[in-house]
Amino acid sequence: MWRAIAGMAATLVLASALIATDIFQNLVGRVTSYRHRIRSLSQKVDSLKRENTVDKQKLEQARTEIASKDQMKTVLLAHDLKTFKLSAPNWLSLGSGSVSLSEKVGGAVLTAHGLPTPIEGQFYDAWWMLKKAPPMKAAQFISEPDGTASAFIDPPPRGLTPVALEITLERMEGVLAPTGPVKLRGHVAEEHAGIFKKH
């Protein structure tokens, strides 16, 4: 009888161990599955965050472009519009352009032709060459594949007199002073320089 009881106890212990092992393996499998799902969801969340960041950047860029086009349209439709020409300092270059100014609007619009599209990382910069002051950046832009370009030009600081406008090709974005070759240059007549004095 005791042998039978011992045998039954051993069987129960073995059965309990098998059941516990099965339950443990089942739990391990579920935990592993949950971890995979959590990792997958985390990756999806990260991907959505990156897409959201890119979308925000595109939206901001679109807003900036729209605002710039609105500014240019306002200048070009002004009744007091005045224009001076830009030409290439090298006679071998086919580049040309013009700057249209409005005293009423207090801004200017650059239009240019014959400016080859710069390689990646390079930009065209427009600079006001000022009387008794260092050059001041007026705009940064990239030309179209056909060599044309247009940009709204910020006015020079109040109290300073621009004597010329130069377009340079810079090797990088955000330069604080002209360092690249001059592609276009135009003399600012006294009557044009006075347009910005009130702004």
Is the confidence at residue 131, as pLDDT, over 90? no
Give the C-alpha separation, 23 to 124, whole Å: 69
Q: How far apart are CA 32 and CA 188, in angstroms?
A: 73
Give the start-to-end residue ranges of the domains of the chain.
Answer: 1-77, 78-196
- Over pLDDT 70: what percentage of the chain? 80
Reported pTM = 0.65
2 pLDDT above the threshold of 90: no
Condensed to tens digits (0 to 9), the pLDDT of residues 40-78 reads 888 888 888 887 777 676 666 667 667 777 888 888 888
Task: For the domain made up of 78-196, give the CATH fold.
Answer: Immunoglobulin-like (2.60.40)
C-alpha span between 107 and 156 (Å, rounded):
9
